[in-house]
Amino acid sequence: MSTFKAPKGTYDLLPPDSEEFLAVREALSAPLRRAGYGYVETPGFEDVELFARGVGESTDIVTKEMYTLTTKGGSRLALRPEGTASVLRAALEANLHRAGNLPVKLWYSGSYYRYERPQKGRYRHFSQIGAEAIGAEDPALDAELIVLAVDAHRALGLREVRLLLNSLGDRTCRPVYRERLQEFLRGLDLDEETRRRAEINPLRVLDDKRPAVRAQLADAPLLRDHLCEPCRGYHARVRDLLDAAGVAYEDDPALVRGLDYYTRTTFEFVHDGLGAQAAIGGGGRYDGLSEMIGGPALPSVGWALGVDRTVLALRAEEVAPAVPAATDVYAVPLGEQASAALFGLVTELRRSGVAADLAYGGKGLKNAMKSAGRSGARWAVIAGERDLAEGVVQLKDLTTGKQEAMDPREVGAEVLKRLETAVPMSSTVPER
C-alpha cells in the first residue's frame, strides 16, 4: 500500500465506476454534438482576475473557494472553479465571434476545483459537462439548451429530475429591484459579512443556505414583480418554447444561483433523491459577461451539468447507464505456441471491433477461466497444442457452457454475428 493518499475532498476514478462515469459523459454530450456544438478545451488554471470579474468578487466561489497560486514570475493564477468564464475567454482570444456565424456553439468537459467542505456528492475536485451559445440574444437558444439537457437526462433513464426556472432581469430593471432588496435586507438581523455582501450584490444573500438567514427572507421582494416589459416578454417566450417541446418546469422566483454574471433566464436541475444538495446542474443567460472580461457585447447563454451529481442521481433511482462490454472474448492459451497464436487472434478481433483480452502470465486452464468470468466476457477462445495441430480453437459460450471447435480464421466473423443478435447483458448499479 502506498504511503500517499488522494488529497482530502478528492477521489480516484477506477473501474468499474469509471465506466459508469464515461457513459454519463457520453450521454450528456451526445445531444450537444447533434445540435452543432463544437468541443473546446481550456487550461486547468487561469488568471485570478478572470474569475474575480466574471464570477463575482462577492461570491463564495471567489472569496472562499478558489485555489490560487503565485508563479515564480509573480502572476496570480487560480485553478478553474467553473467553465463559462474560461470558455468565453478562449472564444474571444481566438476571435471566434468575428467569423460572422453567430452564435458560436461550444461544449466542454473537464475537472474543476473548489475548496468546499467535503461531503457526499460535493468534492473539491469535480467533473462537469458544459455548453455555451455565444453571441446571440434569442429565447430559442435558451430553450434549446434546456431541452438538450432534458433529453440527456431522459436518455440516461432519469425520470425524477425537476427543472426550476426564473428570470433575473437585465441592466434596465434589475437596478431598481437591487435597491428595493437592499432596503429590505438592511432591516434584517444579519452578520457583518452578510451585510457587506448585501451592499456589493444583494442577490447573493438570496442564495444563502443557512436556516437563520433563510427564515428572514420569507417576505423578501421578488424580482419577477420588478421585471421590465422586454424581460417579461422574453421570459414568456422561453416558457412558451419549453411548453411546445413538452418540457415540464417549475417557476422558482427565489432562484438566483451562485454566480454574478447571470441575466434573464436562469435555471437549475434538481433531484430530490440527493437530499439537501439536490442540484445536479444548471445555467442561464449571461449577456454582460463578455464586457466584464474586456470583450465586446456578446449576449450568451449556457449550462454546466455535474457528472458526479448525475451519477448519484442515477444511483438514487437505481438506474444503470448502458456501459459497453469491457471484454466480449477472453482468449485462454495453453502453452507457448498457443499463446503466440491466440495473441494474433486477439489482435485481429480487436481490429474488427470486438472487445477481446488474453490470459497473460502462463495461467493454467482453471485460473484462466476464472479470469474470463471476472472479465465479464461472453465467450472464451481456448487453444492447446492439440487444437493447434488440428487447426482449430475451442469457442466456449460462458453463459450456456456450450463449446465447439472452430477454424480460428472464422472466429471473428462468428463472434460479430453473435454480438448482433445477442440480448444485452443486464447491468447492476455499483454501490458506494
Element at 118 (helix H, strand E): none
Mention every residue, 6+ apart, whose C-beta is less than 8 A from residue 187: none
182 is in an annotated binding site: no
261 is in an annotated binding site: yes
Torsion of CA 346, 347, 349, 353, to 10 degrees: 130
Compute the distance between CA of residue 76 and CA of residue 334 in angstroms, rounded to an integer: 60
Compute the distance between CA of residue 131 and CA of residue 145 in angstroms, rounded to an integer: 8
113 is in an annotated binding site: no
114 is in an annotated binding site: yes
Taking the CA of residue 93 as centre, how many other CA atoms within 13 Å lie in the half-sphere pointing to its CB? 10
177 is in an annotated binding site: no
The residue type found at 32 is L
Asked whether the beta carbons of 145 and 301 are under 8 A apart, the reply is yes
Q: What percent of the residues of the chain are helix, what percent strand, and what percent coil, each to the nearest 5?
A: 40, 20, 40
DSSP assigned state of 341: H
Mention every residue, 6+ apart, whose C-beta is less than 8 A from residue 139: 234, 237, 238, 241, 265
410 is in an annotated binding site: no
Of 74, 69, 77, nearest in space to 49 by CA: 77
257 is in an annotated binding site: yes
| Pairing state between β 38-39 and 104-113 | parallel
262 is in an annotated binding site: yes
Of 332, 185, 201, 192, nearest in space to 256 by CA: 201
Asked whether the beta carbons of 310 and 280 are under 8 A apart, the reply is yes
- Residue ranges at the known binding site: 82-84, 114, 128, 132, 257, 261-262
Binding residues for L-histidine: 82-84, 114, 128, 132, 257, 261-262
